[in-house]
Amino acid sequence: MFEIIFLGTSASAPSVRRGLSAQVIQHNEYRFLVDCGEGTQRQILQSGIGFKRLNQILITHGHLDHILGLAGLLSTYMRWEAIDCLDIYGGRSALDRIHDLLFNIVLWGAKPPIPIELHELKPGLFFEVDDFSISAFPVSHRGSDNFGYLFEEHSRRAFLPEKADALNIPPGPVRRELVAGSPVKMPDGRMIQPEEVLGPLTPGIRLAHVGDSGDTTSLVEYVKGVDALVIEATYLEEEADMAKEFAHLTARQAAELAQTAGVNKLILTHISRRYREKDVLAEAASVFPNVFIARDLDVYQIKRVDVSDVP
Ligand SMILES: [Zn+2]
Ligand SMILES: [Zn+2]
């Protein structure tokens, strides 16, 4: 299961109810801050999630409404020393700007009290642990090297204890080896294959996050069939020409992407002050009904059986 906590859901400038782009995506003990707009620290406090282990930051692109909060966050981390290091992932141009912001403004020539690692991304897998991975994929928006992120649990086969019992396989290390996929030899000489005690392969949960984007055609292959797609919806169709000019999406375009790619749930963010939320929702829902508009401090759990989707 992935959990996403929206910290800021406004486009370009904050509104009374919405802060600038930031969200936390969690999987078990792992947490990733995706973008860090101005005001993110205060939203972290409001959300109650705390700063602990919040030191891996994924940046979609280098526009100020997605990165300015890094300055304040680093300033706080320097005083509290609540974390051991800061890892920031992004495209080259975003990292160049972040480097200037952090090293030339916040640190102003001083040595950082904690290591700050800027990891330049290329499309593809860049983070993997036992049960999930994260890949970056290219997104077209103003400027170069913009990235979307695909969080994927590994596919796995459930252990079937009744089958193990029937084969007289004792609980403990032998069962663990079978779960890990290795055949085992029993004391009585029998060879047991993992397939004998494992259920069918179940695909893991997949969550795609796309920041600002001016085009959806190239995204279809990366978000195909995901359990949830988080993406911007800055404009409505009535201002589609402006969306095009600034390389943003309309709610309808985002919904059409969700439909074409066959995603399960669509969550729209980067919402402009110029519209009413219900109009954004209505435009998207007319194309793709399983759509939600994220609000600041909303929490979504992305699971295999999504109870909220069961009629
Ligand atoms: Zn933006
Ligand atoms: Zn942007």
- Give the ligand at the shortest distance from the Cα of 271: 1
Q: If you average pLDDT over every residue of the chain, what do you get?
A: 94
* pLDDT value at 205 more than 50: yes
**173: number of Cβ within 10 Å:** 9
* Per-residue confidence (pLDDT) for residue 238, from 0 to 100: 97
Place of tokens 């508009």: 293
Least confident of 59-73, 190-204, 212-226: 190-204
CA 157 to centroid of ligand 1, rounded, Å: 40
Place of tokens 């991975």: 133
* Per-residue confidence (pLDDT) for residue 305, from 0 to 100: 61
* DSSP bridge partners of 271: 10
The set of catalytic residues is 65
CA 43 to centroid of ligand 2, rounded, Å: 20
- Give the ligand at the shortest distance from the Cα of 11: 1
Q: What is the rounded distance in angstroms from the CA atom of residue 307 to the CA atom of residue 96?
A: 43
CA 60 to centroid of ligand 2, rounded, Å: 9
Place of tokens 């906590």: 5
* Per-residue confidence (pLDDT) for residue 79, from 0 to 100: 85
Condensed to tens digits (0 to 9), the pLDDT of residues 277-292 reads 999 999 999 999 999 9
* Per-residue confidence (pLDDT) for residue 307, from 0 to 100: 42
To which H or E segment does residue 265 belong? strand 265-269
